[in-house]
Amino acid sequence: MNSRRDFLQKLTASLIILNLPGQVSAYAATSGLNTQTYDGPPLRVAIMGLGSYGSRVAEAMQACKKAKIVGVISGTPSKISTWQSKYNIPAKNCYNYENFDDIKNNPDIDAVYVITPNALHRDQVIRVAKAGKHVICEKPMGLNAKECEEMIDACKKANVKLLVGYRMHFEPNTVEIINQRSRGEFGRILSFEGGTGFPIGDPTQWRLNKALAGGGSLMDVGIYAVNGARYMVGQEPVWVTAQETKTNPAKFKEGVDETIQFQLGFPNGAIASCVTSYNISLDRFVLNGDKGFAELRPAFGYGPIKARTNKGELSFPHVMHQTTQMDEMAGIILGNNKPVFPVDGEEGLKDLKVIDAIYLAVKTGKKVPLSL
C-alpha cells in the first residue's frame, strides 16, 4: 500500500497535469466523465471493513470533492480508534457489526461502502438498506446471482440506491477505448483477450477460504476479466465454456480455484478468451476489430493504466481510481447522474450470472448458454 506521503506526491503531480492548458477539456471530451465544478453538499460515507482496500479507499477519498468519510463500521476496536484519529470521525458515527443497524437513526450518514469478505456482502447490504442508507458494495456483489437478486430487491424495497465498486468504469483510458469502439473506430469487433492474475501469498487469508470468498481467483481478480469482456466488446455474452487448472491442491483446496480459462461467445460472433489465476501474473486486455485494435496493459491494477490503439498511445494523467470513483458515485447518488457504464446492482448481477455459468461449465465440461 502506498504511504500517505507517496499518495499526496502523486496526487499533486496529477493535479498539476490536469491543470495544464488543454488537458481538462481533452479529458472531459474523451472520457465522458462529469468534470463540472461541484458546490453542493458531499456524499457522507461510512466505510464498513477497515482492511487494506478500505484503507486505500479512505486515502483516495481525501482528494474527493463530492464525497467525504464521516463514519466507520468494524469488528476491531483498535482500527476504529486509529481511523477516528486519522480522519476526525466522531464517536457517534462509529459502529461494529452487531449494532450498525442503528445508522438508521444517524442523519449524518448518507451511504455505506461495504468492503468486507464476499460472503458477508448479502446480509450486510440488506441490513444497510433496511436502515435507509444508500449502499456501495465492493465486487463481486455477492456469492452468486441469487444473492445479487435478493440485494437488489431489498434496496428497491427500501428506496435506496445500490452501486457496485466498479472503479474501472471511470478510468479515463478505459472509457476512451470504449468510446472509440462505440464510434466504430475498430470496425467489427472480432475478439477480446483478458488476463487477470497474481501469485497469491498467505495461504490462511480469507481469499483462499471457500466459505468467505465463495471461490478463488475467479471471484477475486477474475471478475475484472468477466466485466471487461462485456464492456470492451459492447455486447452481452450468450454462451460460456471453461476449464480449471490446479497445480497446488494443498493451497487451493476444494472449491477454491487456482487458474480458470474461460471463453465467452457474443451475438456478433466475437469471442472472448480469458485467464484468471492466483498463480500467474496477468494484467492485460486486448480488443481486436477488423479495422483496428486497443490494448490496456496494465488493464485493471491500481495504475497508472497504460493504453494504446492502432493509432498510438493514450496519455491521460493518473489520478487514484477510487478518488474518481467516489466522486462519480456521489454524483450518481446525490444528483442522479448517469455514468458512461452502469455501476448499479443490475450490473453486478450480470457479472455473477456469468461467473455462475463459468463454474457450471468447469463442473460439467459443457458449453453453458447465457441470457443476461
152-185 b/e with 16+ CB inside 10 Å = b? bebbeebebbbbbbbbbbbbbbbbbbbebbeeeb
HSE-CB for 77 with a 13 A CA cutoff: 0
Amino acid in the structure at residue 112: V
Rounded Cα distance between 214 and 118, Å, is: 7
Q: Phi and psi of 11, rounded to 5°?
A: -65, -45
38 in active site: no
Rounded Cα distance between 192 and 270, Å, is: 8
C-alpha cell at 228: 471487461
Rounded Cα distance between 163 and 113, Å, is: 9
- Exactly one of 95, 113, 133, 139 is catalytic; which is it? 139
Beta strands in 139-281 (DSSP E): 162-164, 189-197, 239-245, 259-265, 271-277
**CA angle, 369 then 371 then 372, to 5°:** 140
- Exactly one of 224, 231, 278, 359 is catalytic; which is it? 224
Which residues sit opposite 287 in a β-bridge?
A: 192, 294
139 in active site: yes
Rounded Cα distance between 285 and 138, Å, is: 22
CB 280 within 8 Å of CB 269: no
Q: Phi and psi of 196, rounded to 5°?
A: -135, 115
88-124 b/e with 16+ CB inside 10 Å = b? ebeeebbbeeeebeebeebeebbbbbbbbbbbbbbeb
In 3-state terms, what secondary structure has residue 359? helix
C-alpha cell at 350: 450480470
CB 66 within 8 Å of CB 337: no
Catalytic residues: 139, 224
